[in-house]
Structure 1
Amino acid sequence: MTPTTEPGVVDCGEATCIIGAGPGGLSAARALKAQGLPYEQFERHHDVGGLWDMDNPGSPIYESAHFISSRDLSGFMGFPMPKHFPDYPSHRQILSYVRSFADAYCLRGAIRLGTGVNQIRKDAAGHWVVELSDGSRRRYKAIVCATGCNWDPNLPTFKGEFAGELRHSVTYRSGDEFRGKRVLVVGAGNSGADIACDAATHADRAFISVRRGYHFIPKHIFGMPADEFGESGPHLPLWLARPVFTGLLRLITGDLTRLGLPKPDHRLFESHPLMNSQLLHHLQHGNIAVKPDISHLDGRAVVFKDGSREEVDLVLCATGYRWSCRYAAEYFEWKGGRPQLYLSMFSRDHRNLFGIGYLENNSSAYKLFDTQAFMIAAYLRAQRDRDASAARFDQLIQHDQPDLSGGIRFVDSPRHAVYIDAHSFKTYLRKLRARMGWNELSESFYDRVKVAPSAAALSPQAPVREVVSHG
């Protein structure tokens, strides 16, 4: 590498910079490596795994956290989760799996651990200058932002004053924190439902505050993981799938309003469902009670919008995360707190600025990460090879406006503004790959960059290596 004309900046030539070594960043690294493209990768933590490493500062993971998609449908392409994992692996098993993925594809050598990114900026030539946490600066052809969406907690403000403890769920780790307390969990997303179950088990008294009704999908249907059940048959058109699955859920769970839950204000599939069976169990047994939205706080009490009030010691807000990307925020167009990206990954305004994981969907994430990573790598390879498809794809980035909803009218909320139907997304990308003449993504595509993992490679404590490039 040779210095650029800009003093103090190391020119990395045609290399891509991947920021983050969680599942999305590792997927990007494998795709670039498989295409023979040079890259360097930076991770602020001391090991790979992203948010699944509970020791990673700011991780939202808690002791009872498990995957909400099933083992056999959730792994990276060509690298299934081990069969000895349960249907819904624990966070420790997922972390072990992600790290074994990095070792199986020899990805650690290109990662500089313990090095974060302070900021990026675009230079006059259209390349990207990255300022690292050690103060050094490096220049790249492309940037892949793969630092995820669950690091900036969204803590709401409430009217009134509270004499107890109020905090965000990012600070929560174990149900032992609830012992001897009256606990209110605010928010009924999948994490909120999990934590509410911990409160139901450990707290003196437990409540969950919900603003709206949700469709509950049990984790198992007829003994099968719910997503496997949904995938095992033909892909039904929406007009048929909705009444079939609505009727099936009604048969399995019954009328949930009898448990105090609000009736959903939307039809099935129009919002992210709750994948939880335990919360219904605890509601049925009186271990937790449902409360409406909060009106205000009053000393040791929480007053709800129906006029009821409860004395509580702890209000824990499982109210999600803001989709911030501080080191690159000025280069994204933000709308409703979400970056506006073509196919949820390509910047329309800045060439070779990409994101992986900036999407909401109704499927497991890792294969979608692989699909995104493959598209980015294929596009960069077309640029390198001066293939005409790169210019054609540039035009698509600027003007293509695909409908990836699958015919579903999602609820009007910031979260669902970038929500995609996974089947429609994968189908559209498959058509684009054929149109561009790019290699088809398959389970065997990555075989040539995989090595047999050794016993040492499967260890969660892997050695730190220096940055290298693949070309």
Structure 2
Amino acid sequence: MTQEPGVVVIGGGQSGLAAGYHLRRLGVEFVILDAQTGAGGAWQHAWDSLHLFSPAAYSSLPGRLMPPQPGEVYPDAGHVVAYLADYEKRYEMPVRRGVRVEGVHRDGEFLRVATDSGTWRARTVLSATGTWGRPFIPGVPGRAEFTGTQLHTVNYRSPAEFTGRRVIVVGGGNSGAQIAADLAPACDLTWVTQREARFLPDDIDGRALFDHATARRQALDAGRTDTGGVAALGDIVAVPPVREARDAGLLKAQPMFSRLAAGGVEWADGTSSEVDAIVWCTGFRPALSHLAPLGLRSTRGHIPTEGTRAVDEPRLHLLGYGDWTGPASATLIGVGRPARDAAREIAALLQA
């Protein structure tokens, strides 16, 4: 049976919920299709020690402040999951759980959303699937030869399984620094980065990052000089555990190894090291395979957008994939504004 709401939102994490909030306020009929079996999006799968970069009040979706977590300045992932579950319930979001979208197709005046549990046809589709479902590991020479443990950020949970082992953490971003700090007391750790690790000033947290990202977008939109945004400040937010490990001398990044071998790594100077495990904190790519039937991707893997609207398919909006779909739109605090703008555009299209 085919169902026909005005809008299909794909993804029930923070971006999908923010979009739902604004669509509801505008009186737009919509449904949210989510492949997860529970609320909370990717936050359900975060490693045990993960905390936000910002206090709760600065990590909120539109309409509902995140309550503080007792005993924590920066809430942990479990607190975020509880907040998102409450948000979904409070605003009676029409979320269909356990529904995996297989493809979005043009179907006359509609977009047809094919799933593993039925078909929807909608005037507009908003894709909010994020990046967590598409982890990236670079093609390092010898990676297939390595006989030790390899895992990506998405599979890391805690230091317990690495106690006493020789571990390399690869990646100079926030995930790499946080997981390296988590592991440092428990194992023989080597942290490697492609370039020198750049810590942001200790007083910078998510509030300031959002302000910088917004200022950059405004400057670019006005034709002014690119401020560089967050990247101009550094790569790593010095949250308390990272700061403590850094100040204790436990976070000293080494240059990237040149290749992997069966029992370890080889360095650029010709030396080698035995390694038991490698944690690849090497980022993600947008999870957009469900949009492949529309043929919209550019050579960079993104879909060209104006704001959140796809340039070559105005019935499609993309939200929460990074700055190319709105300043800081992949963050809790940042997704509200582009979600509002997308909802307004969608409502106008439906009324046309």
TM-score computed with the length of structure 2 as normaliser? 0.85
Q: How many positions carry a matched residue from both structures?
A: 332
- Structure 1 counterpart of 2:65: 80
Q: Determine the C-alpha separation between the residues in 1 that align with 2:77 and 2:161.
A: 19
Q: What's the offset of the Cα at 1:229?
A: 6.7
Say if 1:46 and 1:114, in contact at 8 Å, map to a contact too. Answer: yes
Compare CA radii of gyration and give the structure with the larger one.
1
Q: Can you list the C-alpha shifts for 1:422-450, whole angstroms capped at 9, x where unaligned?
A: xxxxxxxxxxxxxxxxxxxxxxxxxxxxx
| Counterpart code for 2:348 | A
Describe how 1:67-466 pairs up with structure 2 within 5 A.
Answer: 67-85=52-70, 86-107=72-93, 110-123=94-107, 125-134=108-117, 136-160=118-142, 161-203=145-187, 205-218=188-201, 221=203, 226-228=205-207, 269-270=231-232, 273-277=235-239, 278-331=241-294, 332-343=296-307, 345-360=308-323, 361=327, 365-386=331-352
Q: Determine the C-alpha separation between the residues in 1 that align with 2:229 and 2:84.
A: 35
Call closer, same or farther: CA 1:214–1:363 in 2, change over 3 Å: farther
Say if 2:103 and 2:292, in contact at 8 Å, map to a contact too. Answer: no
Q: Can you list the C-alpha shifts for 1:247-290, whole angstroms capped at 9, x where unaligned?
A: xxxxxxxxxxxxxxxxxxx9974376210253454344344543
Please say which of residues 190-199 and 325-334 is displaced more in the overlay.
Answer: 325-334
| Counterpart code for 1:91 | A
Call closer, same or farther: CA 1:384–1:158 in 2, change over 3 Å: closer
Q: Determine the C-alpha separation between the residues in 2 that align with 1:385 and 1:340.
A: 25
Call closer, same or farther: CA 1:84–1:70 in 2, change over 3 Å: closer
Say if 1:210 and 1:290, in contact at 8 Å, map to a contact too. Answer: yes
Give unmatched runs, 5+ long, in structure 1: 1-8, 55-60, 238-265, 387-471
Q: Determine the C-alpha separation between the residues in 2 that align with 1:78 and 1:308.
A: 56
Say if 1:185 and 1:317, in contact at 8 Å, map to a contact too. Answer: yes
Q: Determine the C-alpha separation between the residues in 1 that align with 2:215 and 2:40.
A: 36
Give unmatched runs, 5+ long, in structure 2: 217-227
Call closer, same or farther: CA 1:326–1:269 in 2, change over 3 Å: closer
SS in 2 for 1:352: strand
| Counterpart code for 1:275 | V
Say if 1:127 and 1:142, in contact at 8 Å, map to a contact too. Answer: yes
Say if 1:206 and 1:289, in contact at 8 Å, map to a contact too. Answer: no
| Counterpart code for 1:270 | A
Q: Does 1:46 align with 2:37?
A: yes
Q: What's the offset of the Cα at 1:89?
A: 0.8
Q: What's the offset of the Cα at 1:376?
A: 1.9
Say if 2:123 and 2:350, in contact at 8 Å, map to a contact too. Answer: no
Q: Determine the C-alpha separation between the residues in 2 that align with 1:51 and 1:381.
A: 28
Call closer, same or farther: CA 1:286–1:377 in 2, change over 3 Å: closer
Q: Determine the C-alpha separation between the residues in 2 that align with 1:168 and 1:180.
A: 20
Call closer, same or farther: CA 1:281–1:303 in 2, change over 3 Å: farther
Please say which of residues 42-51 and 357-366 is displaced more in the overlay.
Answer: 357-366
Q: Determine the C-alpha separation between the residues in 2 that align with 1:11 and 1:78.
A: 29
